[in-house]
Structure 1
Amino acid sequence: MRVLLGGGSGFVGSALTQLLRSRGHGVTLVSRQGGQDRITWEELSHSGLPLCDAVVNLAGENVLNPFRRWDDAFCREVFNSRIETTKTLAKAIAEAQQPPRAWVVVTGVGYYRPSPTAEYTEDSSGGDFDFFSRLVSSWEAAALIPGSPTRGVVVRSGVVLGRGGGAISQMIWPFRLGLGGPMGSGLQPFPWIHIQDLAGIVCHALESESLRGILNGVSPSSSTTSNGTFAHELAAALGRPALLPVPAWVVRAVFGAERASMLLEGQRVVPKRTLESGYKFLFPELSGALKDIVA
């Protein structure tokens, strides 16, 4: 297939590009800068969708960037970087003379209400109780193309674990120094996925002609993983102790109360439809995923 990929130069986009090309697909990135196998967002807006078989959007400002203060300006940037890019691609698909066969958007499990006990599948409700749930609802609404022949899939991703970026890159050095530990109580659910599996699910969605609708992008064992379990497994993979919990007030001071809720609360999410669709996880268990990442 010829795949047009928004946000393809980032952490997940780089992994997905590598996987798609290894499977014989061609990839064109939509980014701020043009170049070989790239077009800019401005070109897309003015010239329309280039001829392609599938479109994927991964674009979005890093919500947990510790160097950005959680203020109104950053909230707007987080919102617009997801909603506006999705709207731009959806509009281009709707107006294309030869629409692509598939359209995949990666959103987040923030759609589901945090709870220590509730378990969520793709059919569970959510989406209207805080900033992040409303963000995901607006994001997914922006991806809708009524009456389009293009098959649509939304992948709600958990915390993405992998080498060289994502959550691990922000945690690895304290843990290497033996200074890592759970955040807050450590009892909150920790919905996670290995980056190779997130890329794999997107690729699976593109290649499965009958697949459409919502898929949960979390590992099968993440519904039983707590933040404390993650901290101890990461420390064990590094051969270090995990003795120093990070108090909730420190997390709130660094990230702001609203953003800290992503770290201090969590959702038990099950990839029910993802498994039923035939996707086989490369890293279903946390210990194996972390050993692969820190090896």
Structure 2
Amino acid sequence: MRVLVGGGTGFVGRALTQLLRSRGHEVTHVSRQGGKDRISWEELSRSGLPLCDAVVNLAGENVLNPFRRWNDAFCREVVSSRVETTKTLAKAIAGAEQPPRAWVLVTGVGYYRPSTTAEYTEDSPGGDFDFFSRLVSSWEAAALTPGSPARGVVVRSGVVLGRGGGAISQMLWPFRLGLGGPLGSGLQPFPWIHIRDLAGIICHALESEHLQGVLNGVAPSSPSTSNGTFAQELAAALGRPALLPVPAWAVRAVFGAERAVMLLEGQRVVPKHTLESGYHFIFPDLSGALKDIVA
């Protein structure tokens, strides 16, 4: 299978590329600049979709970059890096003489309203209550290709955990020094997934000819994981205490009130359709996932 991956040079993209190539698939990346096994976004817009069997879009500016101030300019960049790249790929797919068989978009569980009690499956409503939910709605709407035979799949990912990137990379040093702890109350749900499972779900979606619609990219034990539980499990995996909670005001001071919601609130998300589709999780439980990452 020839797979075109937008934003494939990032943390998730590297894991997906490694998995796809290990399974005998060819991978070409769409990035800012062309090169070996890659084309630029400008070239894609100008020349259309290269011959491929499947397309994946992972592109998106890091929302939780602590070095970027949360202002109008950064908000526009966050939206554009997701919605415009998706529109570019969808337009290329719709206009292709030989369209791909599969079109997979990775978005986020921010689609669902934060709650400490509600549980959400892929059929649950959402998408219209704050900046991030509306972003996911616009993002997913941009992927629509009416009339195209390409099979569409949306993977709504939780917090991605893995070595060498993702959420863990910013947390390890405080925890290694014994300075880690929950954020805010620690009671907020913490929807998570191991990087190998997120890559696995995307690969599963590409290879399963019957599969379409929304898949929740979270671990089966994710609904029972709180931020406080995550802090305790990470500290235990490192052999350290988790005694120093980060107060909510400090999180808001660093990230801004709107963005801090992503850290101080959360959703209990169930991978119902993902499990029903036949995907078998490599890391269904948090302790096993963290031991693999910090070993």
TM class, shorter-length: over 0.9
Match of 2:125 in 1: 125
- Aligned residue type for 2:100: P
TM-score for the superposition, normalised by structure 1: 1.00
Q: Secondary structure at the match of 2:156?
A: strand
Would you say 1:282 and 2:276 are equivalent positions?
no
Match of 1:93 in 2: 93
- Alpha-carbon displacement from aligned partner over 1:26-84 (angstroms, at most 9, x marks no partner): 00000011111000000000000000000000000000000000000000000000000
- Alpha-carbon displacement from aligned partner over 1:160-183 (angstroms, at most 9, x marks no partner): 000011100011100000000000
* Matches for 1:69-148 after TM superposition, within 5 Å: 69-148=69-148
Match of 1:245 in 2: 245
Q: Secondary structure at the match of 2:3?
A: strand
- Alpha-carbon displacement from aligned partner over 1:238-283 (angstroms, at most 9, x marks no partner): 0000000000000000000000000000000000000000000000
Match of 1:195 in 2: 195
Q: Secondary structure at the match of 1:183?
A: coil
- Aligned residue type for 1:242: A
- Alpha-carbon displacement from aligned partner over 1:106-150 (angstroms, at most 9, x marks no partner): 000000000000000000000000000000000000001111110
Aligned mates of 1:157, 1:46 — CA distance in 2: 31
Match of 1:38 in 2: 38
Match of 1:164 in 2: 164
- What percentage of residue pairs aligned between the two structures are identical? 88
Match of 1:57 in 2: 57
Deviation at 1:219, TM superposition (A): 0.1
Q: Secondary structure at the match of 1:154?
A: strand
- Aligned residue type for 2:240: R
Deviation at 1:156, TM superposition (A): 0.1
Aligned mates of 1:70, 1:163 — CA distance in 2: 27
Q: Secondary structure at the match of 1:273?
A: helix
Structure 1, unpaired ranges of 5+? none
TM-score for the superposition, normalised by structure 2: 1.00
Match of 1:213 in 2: 213
Structure 2, unpaired ranges of 5+? none
Aligned mates of 1:42, 1:214 — CA distance in 2: 29
Aligned mates of 1:36, 1:148 — CA distance in 2: 29
